[in-house]
Structure 1
Amino acid sequence: MAFVLYPAIDLKGGQVVRLKRGEMDQATVYAEDPAQQAAAFAAAGFEWVHVVDLDGAFAGRPANAAAVRAILAATQLPVQLGGGIRDMATAEAWLAAGVARIILGSAAVKDPGFARAACKAFPGQVALGLDARDGFVATEGWAETSDVTARDLALRFADAGAAAIIFTDIARDGMLTGVNLDLTADLARAVPIPVIASGGVASVADIHALRATGAGIAGAILGRALYDGRVEPAEALAAARG
């Protein structure tokens, strides 16, 4: 199975930002033009773009729609999109607009019936975003923490037909401290759904480490390390391809 790298475009107020541990007041602006950033990732050789509507995650509905549409228009790369997708109408609208894969985060915890229905209605086009704080799934743009562990929630959806699980250790997100290898590998071994690692990738060594677990981790999301120049695209892609 190929190990896929997903460069991240996190949207806040129409700009490309990175947060630290998901704190909205800890945002660093990295680019004013999300579409231009997406085109740059395509030119660098990446095969996907990971987009998060941060404002939408807090609002519970899309809040950076114009920026997302600009990204879709600027690149032929498949886009996976999360943030503010809480009902079937929104899911359908984004997929019809050209998004390749939607990510359901809060909805997986708070409205599992909808999440299951979406997986069934759009096979291969729905990923579950499991963002954990101390192992427990956080929702509402990480503002709330549930009483469900990421592993338990993943197991509940094992037969739902999700295309992927995107697992984030919130404590490491944007901190450049390395990924949580143990938790990510444990999750990948526990469920039949491909698991994508998110949060904390700081160097090419982290990419090698994820591939070396033997757990079949399907890929990783690259954020701050890419923007800060700690990870060069060509080197990262070479590591991912082994």
Structure 2
Amino acid sequence: MRPRVEIAVQDLAGAQTAMEKGADRIELCTALALGGLTPSLATIEQAVSVGIAVHVLIRPRAGDYVYSPAETALMVADIRHAVRAGAAGVVIGALTHGDQALDAEALQVLIAAAREENPAAEITVHRCVDVLIENGIHVRDLIDPLRALGVDRILTSGGAEISRQGAGVLEQLRRYASGKPQIQAGGGIAAKDVAALRGLDGIHLSAREQRRGGRSGPGGGPSQYDVTSPELVSAVIAAVSHG
């Protein structure tokens, strides 16, 4: 079976592009330039209306993955809103102080919120795990706690800057996990990287390109902005399907 393709998008247009070009699902977020943040409820509703499976990133701010009780409560509220709006799943992550381990207590609370709204909600733990992999965590010490929590999928580059460079670690994770949870590569993926990642359960990419319209003025930040490229999505879908 080929790996499933997930496209990280920021808006309705991106969701439509992913759907039209044959992606299996999307991760919906905003502020991809910051690694992604939680999108608005209206954005979630628009994306769900497209008909593709929508997995919503729940990340309240940029920076590290160590969250205060107030931030965790905000993530719980965002999860409930997202699942009620029709999201097929949520993408979450949390670490303990000092980046020593997964914050299993926080993750349990977040997962419970999603599955109280929909028992079938899928849970992806995002690239916070790459911090632990960089710190030398053993494969079983990463996989076993997430399996016990009922996580469906891990999004990771194998601790590398780009997924192709982490292919060896990704394969170790896949072999140990045996699909529970699924291992999905994410980080700097292009069509040329698919061959090295074909054995994994999934491939995740933003497939974005920059567009420039009018000026944003002195108070609006950069004038360019990211959009989902139909050509980049199509190239990866073709590589996965025919490689």
TM over 0.5: yes
Superposed displacement of residue 89, structure 1: 3.7
Q: CA 1:68/1:148 → structure 2, altered by over 3 Å: closer, same or farther?
A: farther
Q: Name the one with the larger strand percent.
A: 1
Instruction: Tell me the residue number matched to 1:135.
Output: 133
Instruction: Tell me the residue number matched to 1:94.
Output: 82
Superposed displacement of residue 116, structure 1: 5.3
Give unpaired runs (5+ residues) of structure 2.
Answer: 61-71, 96-101, 211-228
Determine what percentage of the aligned residue pairs are the same residue. 17
TM-score (norm 2): 0.66
Number of equivalences: 197
2 CA distance for matches of 1:130 and 1:101?
16
Among candidates 46, 68, 76, match of residue 51 of structure 2: 76
4+ residue stretches of structure 1 with deviation over 6 A?
Answer: 228-231
Q: CA 1:219/1:62 → structure 2, altered by over 3 Å: closer, same or farther?
A: closer
Does the CA contact (< 8 Å) of 1:54 and 1:83 recur in 2?
no
**Cα displacement string for residues 53-78 of structure 1 (whole angstroms, at most 9, x for unaligned residues):** 449x999x9463333333233x1111
Give unpaired runs (5+ residues) of structure 1.
Answer: 12-33, 137-146
Q: CA 1:234/1:112 → structure 2, altered by over 3 Å: closer, same or farther?
A: closer
TM-score (norm 1): 0.66
RMSD: 3.5
Instruction: Tell me the residue number matched to 1:187.
Output: 173
Does the CA contact (< 8 Å) of 2:164 and 2:197 recur in 1?
no
Q: CA 1:183/1:231 → structure 2, altered by over 3 Å: closer, same or farther?
A: farther
1 CA distance for matches of 2:107 and 2:52?
29
Q: Which amino acid aligns with 1:114?
A: V
Superposed displacement of residue 95, structure 1: 0.8
**Rg: which structure is higher?**
2
Does the CA contact (< 8 Å) of 2:6 and 2:23 recur in 1?
yes
Among candidates 152, 157, 166, match of residue 168 of structure 1: 157
Q: Name the one with the larger helix percent.
A: 2
Q: Which moved more, 1:152-161 or 1:109-118?
A: 109-118
SS of 1:159's equivalent in the other structure is: helix
Superposed displacement of residue 39, structure 1: 1.2
Q: CA 1:112/1:101 → structure 2, altered by over 3 Å: closer, same or farther?
A: closer
Q: CA 1:162/1:130 → structure 2, altered by over 3 Å: closer, same or farther?
A: same
Among candidates 202, 227, 238, match of residue 219 of structure 1: 202
2 CA distance for matches of 1:50 and 1:4?
13
Instruction: Tell me the residue number matched to 1:205.
Output: 192
